[in-house]
Amino acid sequence: MALTCGRWSARTRIGEDVCRTSIIQAPPTDLPHEPMSEPSAAASPRFLTAALYRFVDLPDFASLREPLVALCEAQQVRGTLLLAPEGINGTIAGPEAGVRAVLAHLRADPRLATLTHKESWSDRHPFYRMKVKLKKEIVTLRVPELDPNKTVGRYVKPQDWNALLADPDVVVIDTRNDYEVAVGTFKGAINPNIKTFTELPAWLDAQPGLEAAAPGEVKTTKVAMFCTGGIRCEKSTALMKMRGFDEVYHLEGGILKYLEEVPPEQSTWEGECFVFDERVSVGHGLKPGPLELCRACRWPLTEADKASPHYVKGVSCAHCHDLHTPEQKANLAERQRQTELAQARGEVHVGARMARREGELEG
């Protein structure tokens, strides 16, 4: 992966030097959802993945956890769901009947009756465990006064996204983390190079033209934002509206919906889309991509990354080889050894949890 610094084109009246990433190419049938085509008998993928979120007041969110955990375990459904006072967010996967049973359970709560989800299929389970976590926010930004239920940007359908990106007066911002942008983004989008979503407000403050408006001022700069599944843009576009920007746009359904609906020959997407499960990345049609995770730091790795002398499977890569002590590397090596032994026995080794990034479950 190469990083090149340059100036924003017609959009650069907002800021000066910006580093851009050069991509190395290497969700019951009568419930609301956004389905992919069901798997063919020849391909026979066995596992349905459903990505979902909804901002809604859930003051009793903690009481929802145990029944949800019990149902997921009974239905052999795995993944991660976050519950917070502001709503629900997560991705689950498992046998189709099990996933649909969990979705029906969620929608049985009147507050979640209109919950939508996005679907994809895989031939192996993309998760090792089921986790239902209680959080302060379903996507962490740490701007307490922000409420996406009150105001967000204007939704743009995937089919209309290219035209918006072609407008030279629109500033297009990728709101995802650096390791996500590294493997794919939209052509011409600005990469803030943030480690976590919580860094976005400070990055905006540092960009001339994107800082908050003065009292009584209305910002006229057109801003378009996108993320993996749409949830981060619910907050980032609400943040821009709160900061005084009038024309703020949001890719409806996120990158995943775009890759599902827009044909490759019409696409302005470059590379792969990082996802927070064992698929690591997906491409057009939401087909699993070729990337693997470094099990030490969770950076997505290409074949070129794995050719680095710093890459040791399960132990280190070029991004983290100097971040761990010899003792930590020894522990990682032992975990990798146990994983390989389990695989040889036809078992799944969960073992010690991999290093996690702050706010890793994103969308």
Residues annotated as catalytic are 227
Strand partners, 13: none
DSSP assignment, residue 88?
E
CA atoms within 13 A on the CB side of 328: 12
CA distance linking residue 163 with residue 119, whole number of Å: 26
Q: Do 283 and 289 form a contact (C-beta atoms < 8 A)?
A: yes
| Ordered strands of the 222-226 beta sheet | 154-156, 248-251, 222-226, 170-174
Report the distance separating Cα 37 and Cα 21, nearest Å.
Answer: 33
- Across-strand partners of 88? 54, 83
Per-residue tokens: 14: 């907002």
Q: Which two three-digit tokens encode residue 299?
A: 């950076």
Residue type, position 52, single letter: L
**Smallest Cα–Cα separation from 302: which of 313, 310, 312, 293?**
293
Distances (CA, A) of 304 to 24, 186, 277: 9, 22, 21
